[in-house]
Amino acid sequence: MYAKNRHTLLLALCFLFIFAVGAGEATAQSLMTPFPSSFRNTRTNELTDGSTLAPVFRKIRQRKHVKVMQIGDSHVRGNILPRTLGSTLQRYFPQMEFAYYGINGAWARRFYEQDMINRVASEHPDLVIISFGTNEAHAARLDEVSHAQTMQTLTDRIRQRCPDVCFLFTTPPGSYIKQRAGNKVPNQTTAEVARSIVNFCRAHRMAVWDIYTIAGGPSAITNWRNAGLLNTDLIHYLGQGYTLQGKLLGEAIYRAYNTTAVSGSQTRMMHGSTPKEQRPYTSVKGF
């Protein structure tokens, strides 16, 4: 009788374990937004060198106040991408405050001017997300040395005012460019700009979200267009496209948090914050 009861108990425990693991996996998967089924050659949505954000993740784990600011070009100025990013992050980190500032047509070098440094410093950010590259990709040619110097100057000047700040760069998602004949083709320089940003971050131990490669690399811009997420100008994105990008970036940051700041990422994801725990975020609009 004892052996029979023990056998029954073991079966019950095994069933509960399988159920719990299955539920955990389902919960973890539900936190990761997929690309549309039409996308080709996509990669895992994750940060490169996300562990460099450990100081930010440590403050989150200690339930301290954390301030994140995103700066960038018209993709950020359009509000939808950063607002989605902010709400996604606050879904996981209710104690986080989020701000953003974007300027139409801006290159990264615009933001190392003193007025922009003052604006960033006034937010006292723990993490600055730097999102440029589309306008640089529409130049006649990319000078990677000059581009790297711009990123160096920008991060140096921000760090002078905010000594403990961490940085996360994003690569441009892709766009089309007009040829002399008048027809538009995928802008091949986007790949060069993305590679320049990734190389800079690798050399300086900074995190980067390479959405260009993640969304398909050479296939990225046609992926966005074929899915109906690209605007008619073939440079900007429709609201659904920016919403998807914002969710993906927020989820990539959360994934880095789980694999950097805590052990057992699957367990942490099962206990993620719910939407009703969110707090309003601050939006800092452009001109």
Any domain includes 198: yes
Residue 80 lies in a domain: yes
Q: pLDDT tens digit string along 86-124? A: 999 999 999 999 999 999 999 999 999 999 999 999 999
All residue ranges of the chain with pLDDT < 50 are: 2-4, 8-30, 261-287
21 domain residue, yes or no: no
Element (H, E) at 177: strand 176-178
- Cα 148 to Cα 43, 133, 174, 215, distances in angstroms: 25, 12, 20, 24
Q: Is residue 156 part of a domain?
A: yes
Specify the pairing of strand 184-186 against strand 176-178. antiparallel
User: According to the model, what pLDDT value does residue 5 have?
Assistant: 52
The answer to whether residue 139 sits within a structural domain is yes
Three-state DSSP class for residue 238: coil
Is position 9 within any domain? no
Domain span holding position 200: 31-277
Look at the pTM and tell me if it is higher than 0.85. no
Q: Output the domain CATH number for residue 169.
A: 3.40.50.1110
**Paired tokens of 30:** 């539900």
Residue 100: inside a domain, yes or no? yes
Distance separating alpha carbons of residues 19 and 224, to the nearest angstrom: 37
The total domain count for the chain is 1
Coil, strand, or helix at residue 44?
coil
The amino acid at residue 241 is G
Examine residue 223 and state whether it is found in any structural domain, yes or no: yes
161 neighbors 200 (Cβ within 8 angstroms): no
